[in-house]
Amino acid sequence: MIQNLREPHVTNRLLEGRETLCPALSLLDAIAEDREPFALRLESPGLEFQALSPVGPHPNRAVLKIFRIDEGPLEGRTAVFFFKKSRIPWSHDRHSYGVCLLPPSGPTPGEVEEWIEFATTGFHPDHRPARLRQAFTFTVPE
């Protein structure tokens, strides 16, 4: 579920995302329908979902960012970037856990489930997605 779905800015951002990031439609639907809570982060442009289910005694720091690659040989492809935001408010750092590319026809239900589970477990190494690419030759937009 998307906990802040009712906020007007969130709805508008999601509608925009559905138009521009078509291969991610099934992922967006799955996040909205999942039992585990997420929030759309309005502080950053594009679609960034903060996982909200706690990890043990600590808050979950996992974020899923859905974006379009705009450089290099993969230009135009849609991808999901897994990262943790720095715990220091002014830091620019994003602690990357990797990227999965979305096929133009959209990911399989199994892939979507895997990605959501990876986030809800706080990126536990045992739940790494099978197609996670830890190195990539494009810049993930901020």
Partner 1 sequence: MERLNPGELKIALFCRGLRIGPGCNLEEDARFLSRTRAGLGSGLDLVIPGDLKDLWVNVPVEEDFVEDSPFLLIGRQGTYWVRDGESRNEYEIEIPNQPNWYAAKTSKGTPMYRVGVLQGTYLGIYVSNSCSFWHHSPSMGCKFCTTGLNVGVNEIVEKDIEDVVEVARAAKAENGITFVHLNSGFAAKDRSLDVIAPYVKTLKERVGVLTGVQVTPSPNHWKYDWLLDCGADHFSFCYEFHNPQVFAQACPGKEKFIGQRTFLNALEYTAKKMGPGRVSGEIIAGVEPLEDTLRAIDYIAGLGAFPTVCIFRPTLGSEMERYPSPHYNDMRLVMEYMWDACRRNGILIGVAPNIEVSLVVTPDDSRYLPKRTMAWHVYEMKLKAAKRLARPLFSKELRPHLVKGDPTRYPAGASPLKIAPGLAPWPEGSRDMSSTIR
Longest Cα–Cα distance in the chain: 42
Does 8 sit near partner 1 (CB under 8 A)? no
- The stretch among 9-17, 40-48, 70-78, 108-116 that binds partner 1 (CB under 8 A) is 70-78
- Nearest CA-CA partner of 94 in 129, 47, 141, 55: 141
Please work out the total of residues on this chain that contact partner 1, with binding judged by CB under 8 A.
Answer: 32
Does 86 sit near partner 1 (CB under 8 A)? yes
Does 68 sit near partner 1 (CB under 8 A)? no
Task: Pull the structure tokens for residue 48.
Answer: 């960034």
Distance (Å, whole) CA 20 – CA 39: 20
Does 136 sit near partner 1 (CB under 8 A)? yes
Phi/psi for 101 (5° steps) reads -85, 140
Residues that bind partner 1 (CB under 8 A): 58, 72-74, 81, 83-84, 86-98, 101, 123, 125, 131, 133-140
